[in-house]
Amino acid sequence: MEKLEKVRINYFKEIPLSLITIADSNVRRSRQKSGLEELKTSIQKLGLIQPVVLIEQNGKYKLVVGQRRFLAFQDLGKDKIPAIIIDSIGSTTEKVISFGENIHRKALPYDDTIQVCNELFENSTGEPLERIERISKTLGISIHTVSKYLSYRLVPEEVRKLVTEGKLSADVAYRITTAFWPNTQKIVKVAEYTTKMTKSEWERALTIGRKKPEATVEEIVQEAKKPQLTYELLIPLDNETNTLLARIAKDRKMDMVSLVRNMITDFLESEA
C-alpha cells in the first residue's frame, strides 16, 4: 500500500471560492447535495464551524475535505470560505483523509466507499486477507465491511468459472463470497451446491452461514433445505424512494427484495 503521509498544516485564512476546485481524490462523488439545505441553514445561523481543507497549487487551491460545505457556500452566494491550507500530499493519502473526514460526518454512499477500498487494495501488497486487514485499520471500518465492498475482486477463480459457464449469476457469486470470506474452500463448495438449489434455499444458506460461521457446508445446506417460517413485511414507499431503490438494485445487479433484505441484514449485524 502506498505509504500514508503525515499532514502538515501551513496556515489558515479565508480563500475566495473562485480559486477553489474540487480534488479528484474527494471521495464524495454521489449524492453530493444530500442534506445541503440543512447545512446551509446551520451556516446562516451559526457560521462555518469546521473549515474546509485545501492544498495550494500555483496560486489556486484544491479542495480535499469539505465538499458539501464548499457547495453550501456557493449556494449561499458567499465570496470566501474559511480554510486550512496543508502541504501537498499523495493521491492515496488525500483519499484516506477525505474518507476519514466524511465517514465520521455524513455516511458515504456505497459506490464512493467501494472506490476508496479498491484504490487502497490496488496500492497494497501481500495476500488478500493481509491487504483487507490493513485497509480495515486505515479506514476504521470492519474487515467484514471491507471484504463486502471488495467482493467483486475476491470471488475465487473456481466460482468465476461457474459464472462464465452460466451456472451461477455474478450477483450470487459476489454474495456467497462476501458471506463466507475469507474461507475460499467454503466459498467454492457453497457455490457448487448453490447451482443445484432453489433461490429461497441458497438465500437461507447465506443467512445460516453468516449466523453460524463454524457450521460445515453440509450442515448449512441441510438446514437451508428445510422449510422455514418466514414473515412478509409490507412497507409503504413514496415514489422517489421506490425509484432510488430500483436504481441501486439495478446498479448492483440485484432485485429490490434481495437489496432490502441485505440492507436489513447489514444493519442488524452492525447493531449486534
CB 40 within 8 A of CB 72: yes
CB 22 within 8 A of CB 70: yes
The CATH-assigned architecture of domain 9-102 is Alpha-Beta Complex (3.90)
pLDDT at 73: 92
CA 89 – CA 62 distance, rounded (Å): 11
pLDDT at 113: 63
Quick one: cell of 29? 462523488
pLDDT at 191: 94
CA 192 – CA 195 distance, rounded (Å): 6
Residuewise pLDDT in 10s, the chain (272 residues): 445 455 455 557 889 999 998 866 554 444 455 557 777 877 887 678 778 888 888 888 988 888 888 999 999 999 999 888 877 665 555 555 555 444 444 444 545 566 777 778 887 788 888 888 887 776 666 777 777 777 767 788 899 889 888 898 877 888 898 888 889 999 999 999 999 999 889 988 988 888 888 999 999 999 999 876 666 778 888 888 888 888 888 876 677 887 787 777 767 665 55
pLDDT at 29: 46
pLDDT at 27: 44
pLDDT at 100: 46
pLDDT at 104: 40
pLDDT at 30: 42
pTM of the model: 0.43
pLDDT digits (tens, 9 = 90+) for 54-101: 888 888 898 888 888 899 999 999 999 988 887 766 555 555 555 544
Per-residue CA distances from 262 to 67, 207, 244 (Å): 30, 10, 16
Q: What are the CB-based long-range contacts (under 8 Å, 24+) for 150-155? A: 150/114, 150/117, 150/118, 150/121, 151/175, 151/177, 151/178, 151/181, 153/118, 153/121, 153/128, 154/128, 154/181, 155/187
